[in-house]
Structures are given as C-alpha cells and as structure tokens.
A and B are shown apart, each in its own frame.
Chain A
Amino acid sequence: MSLSHDHEMAVSLTQQDRSRRAFVSTLRSHVLQRMSGDLRQHFEQAVEPEYAKSGSPLDTPEAIHEALKGEFSFKAYSSVRTAAQEMVFDVVSDAVDRELEVLNAKAAKPAKHGTLTLNPTLPLPKSVTGIDVHLSPGSYHAEHAEDDVTAGAVYDNSIDVFAFGQFGKRHNDIGTTLSNYLRLKYPDFAPSSILDCGCTIGHNTLPWAETYPAAEVTAIDVAAPVLRYGHARAESMGIAAHFKQMDATAMDFDDAQFDVVFSSMFMHELPLKHIHRYLKEAFRVLKPGGILWQMELPPMNAMPNYENFYMNWDTSYNNEPYYGTFRKQDYRQLLLDAGFSADDFIEATMPRYTFVGEAAFQEAIQGTNTFDTLTGRMDPKGTRWYGFGAWKR
C-alpha cells in the first residue's frame, strides 16, 4: 500500500485504488483535451459556417449551446464527461470507506498549532444542502458518523483524480498564486490577519500562512466535515490556521478585523443574492487599507463566446446552477454595490506560481491581462488563473 498524500490524513491506497484512480484521471484528461478539441473543431468547421451561411450567426454562448445540443460530438463529450465526473467520487470512496474510523480518530487528536471552532446550530444554506454540488454524492456537508470527516477526505482525494495534478501536489496552487501575487505586486503590504471564505479543506488557505508567516490565518466554511478534515490536515502539516464554521454571508467577526479577505472558486457556487450579502460582509470585516482578493472564473464580458459556452457547461450539467448568473455580472459593479470604490478595483490574470517559479511569475504579472482558452481552465499547456478584488480605503 502507499499513501495518497504527504500528510497524516492521507488514506492508504491499494494497487487497485491506484489503478482505478489513474484510469479516471486519464479519462478526464482525454475528455477535457481530446474530446473537447473534437467538439471545438466540429463547431468551427461545420456548425458555425452553416449558421453563418443561413444568415443567423452564433454570436452568443447560449446560441452556441443550442446549436451544438443536437450534435453527436456535444452529446458524446457531455455524456462521457458526466460519467467521468461521477467516477471521480466513486473511485476515491473505497479507500475513504475503509479508513473511516482511522480518519475520524486522527481528526479528534488535540491540536498543537491552530484551532477548530464548530457551530452545530448554524443553518446550512440550500445552495449547499439542496443539491449534490459537482455531482458529489452527499455534497460537502453530509455526515456519516459522529464528528465525521468523510466529506473532507472524499474532497481531498477527489481533487487528485479530478485535477490530474494541475492544482499542485498539495492542491494549493490557487492560494499560492494569489498570495504571491499580492506579495510581489505590493511589497510594502504586510497583512497581519487573513481570512479565507468558503475554505472547504483549507488547501488554498494554508499557502497564505506560508507566504505571510507573520499573519494569523482564519478560514471559514458552513460545512463541518470539511472543516474537521481541513483542520486535522493543517495540524499534520504543522501549519497554524483557525478553522471556524461560519456563513460568509453573515459573519460573526467584528468590523475591520482583517487585512485580507480571500476566497477561491467560492462566489460562483452562491446564489446572486448571497453574493451581494457576502461582498457586503467582506467589506465590513476588512480593515481600512485591507484588500478583498479572490480567485474566480473569468467574467463573461472578458471572454470569447465559444469560451463562455464551454466554461458554462458546468452550470448546465455539473450541479453548479448559480455559476452562469455569476459570470454574467459586472464584477466591478458587484464590488461597488458592496461599498468599494471604482478606483480601488483590481483584476489580474496570472500563470500558476507553483508551476512557473518566481522569476517567470514576477515577469508575467507586470504584463497586461490575457483572456483566452487557457484563462480559468485546467490545461497542462499552462493554466492562467483570474483574480479580482478591491482595496478598502
């Protein structure tokens, strides 16, 4: 047997586990590269010219979606991608099932570095409980035993299979990239308190503690199983972080408590009314001189039509129903509505720090933003993350 990760919450993998995981990763990679390439080629060479000839050009993502729905390449891509997504959770659940007691016992060990504060009376939003987000059975909140960490373990292991290595070894590239962007772009900024909202297992929280070792790092989520797991995972890595069960749209923190409010891949999972509440809360808990800084899917108004159609597949078919509405928003306006000033808005596209290294990263973030087929999408050829936020005066 071998371990799935380099921390104590790692599950032991049999050779069968490893083979099944490798197969699903390979299948996903095949769908996202080969089959998605076939789909694009069919669109560009057959579907688009046909519509152009008939005088009804496909000039919106919705029109492209409608035009492709009946095409075999779309059906095959979508059907195989759905099956592969379901298999991700299936193949990682065997090892998590086997080690249920071991994982829950490890998570119950006394903490040495950070803290875990749960709130069993916190109402969970329907956006979490009402659907199995990402087609993950039980979503991120379901508990299968007392003080259960299962959902966290399934999530951590599923990223291995899902992302085929594209998030870095500890799945922390997004947090690493966004925190190093601030460090390199604003060298005089020295935050002492950092908050990660919608942190799940804290994989993108912990790099903030590494980038800014003097800062106190806090992470919140509504789901207890992922927080228990994330806390235990951080403890075993010897990284201090404070995990709290709290709703980012109604935080318990005092006003002006944090220098940085961060989130990654969080807002697109929220209903629009909750996005507004979250941003107002973020503005409230930020200190003057602090920054809201978030990794997100790029806005539709910055991306080409086909990219928008392709990216929005998930909102139609991957149980992420709020994602399309979010991407249609003017992100700057969202922040203005929450109290930030237009002049303080920032946005950036950036290469993955973990993969390109500091020198190339430093050079890239001096340039202009690029919105293309690599922006916001996992691609071994070179993913480019999108970040946006604002300073609070």
Chain B
Amino acid sequence: MSTRRIPRKRRGQRHQFFEADGVDELLSCVLRLTSEMSALSERLYLAERVLEGKGIDMAGEIERYRLSEADEAALSHERQRLIETVLAQLGASGTGTESIEDDLGP
C-alpha cells in the first residue's frame, strides 16, 4: 500500500468573503471537523449494530478495556491525521501561480 500523499492544498490565495481575517478559514475548519465527526458517528453506529448482533454490550466493554502500546500508537496517528485535516487551510500555500493575464483578453 502506498504511503504517498498528493497535495491537498491548491495553489494561490483563497478568496476572502467575510471582511474579518480568518472567518472563511475558520468556517472551512468547522466544516472539516463536522465531516470527521459525521464519519466517526457513522462508524460508532455501525460498531454498535455489529456487536449487538453478536450479543455484546459495547458500552460496558469499553469501560473495562485497557489500551496497549499498539493502541496508543494507532490512536496517536489518527489524532495527528485529524488535526492535519481540520487545519488544512491554515497551512502554507502551494507554489505560486503562473500569470495568465495575457490569456484573459480577446
């Protein structure tokens, strides 16, 4: 499996729609966070249904569970990925755009 990561941020400045600096970016962060929350909620829902089908009381089992080193590493990796995704638009811009000015005329 490839570990490559193609660029996630496009070149050039984002448009600013709200006058106050950072509002557009903050909105982007909130939406990305909501996306992650949505995916997580769906996964939890599926997990509950799967376990219920096998007669397992998930909430009780979670409280009794003790994390291993491998668990800690996996959760740490996922936490970092989550932060990178949520804060993607606050990172550095991609390399600058080429001028297209002379293409815009008739």
Which residues 65-107 of A have a CB within 8 angstroms of B? 74-76, 78-80, 82-84, 86-87, 89-91, 93, 96-101
B6-A137 in contact (CB<8A): yes
| Interfacial residues of chain B within 56-106, with CB under 8 A of chain A in the complex | 85, 88-89, 94, 97-100, 103-106
Given A75-B17, A80-B31, A93-B6, A131 contacting B39 (CB threshold 8 A): no
CB contact under 8 A between A132 and B4, given known A23-B35, A86-B28, A273-B106: no
Please report the total number of A residues contacting B with Cβ < 8 Å. 54
| A20 interfacial contact with B, CB 8 Å | yes
Q: How far is the CA of A84 from the CA of B9 in the complex (A)?
A: 13
Q: Is the CB of B15 within 8 A of A80?
A: no
- Which residues of chain A are near B7, meaning CB under 8 Å? 137-138, 142
User: A112 within 8 Å of B by Cβ?
Assistant: no
Q: Are B104 and A135 in contact (CB under 8 A)?
A: no
Chain A window 296-338, contacts with chain B (Cβ cutoff 8 Å), 1 for yes, 0 for no: 0000000000000000000011010110010000000000000
Closest to B27 in A: A79
Report how far A390 CA is from B21 CA in the complex, Å. 50
Residues of chain B lying within 8 A (CB to CB) of residue A129 = 98
A131 to B12, Cβ gap below 8 A?
yes
Q: Which of A82, A101, A138 contacts B15 (CB 8 A)?
A: A82
Contact of A19 among B31, B39, B88 (CB under 8 A): B39
A166 vs B11: C-alpha distance when bound (angstroms): 28
In the complex, which range does the number of interface residues on chain B fall in? 35 or more
A168 within 8 A of B: no
Q: Which residues of B contact A (CB under 8 A)?
A: 1-12, 14-15, 17-18, 23-24, 27-28, 31-32, 34-36, 38-39, 42-43, 46, 85, 88-89, 94, 97-100, 103-106
Nearest 5 CB-CB pairs, A to B? A19-B39, A130-B98, A132-B10, A100-B2, A271-B103
Taking A79-B24, A138-B6 as known contacts, 14 extra A-B pairs with beta carbons closer than 8 A to each other, sorted by chain A number, are A19-B42, A23-B38, A83-B24, A83-B28, A86-B88, A90-B32, A100-B2, A100-B4, A127-B103, A130-B103, A132-B10, A132-B12, A150-B6, A273-B106
Q: Which residues of A contact B (CB under 8 A)?
A: 15-16, 19-20, 22-24, 27, 74-76, 78-80, 82-84, 86-87, 89-91, 93, 96-101, 126-127, 129-132, 135-138, 142, 144-145, 150, 154, 271-274, 316-317, 319, 321-322, 325
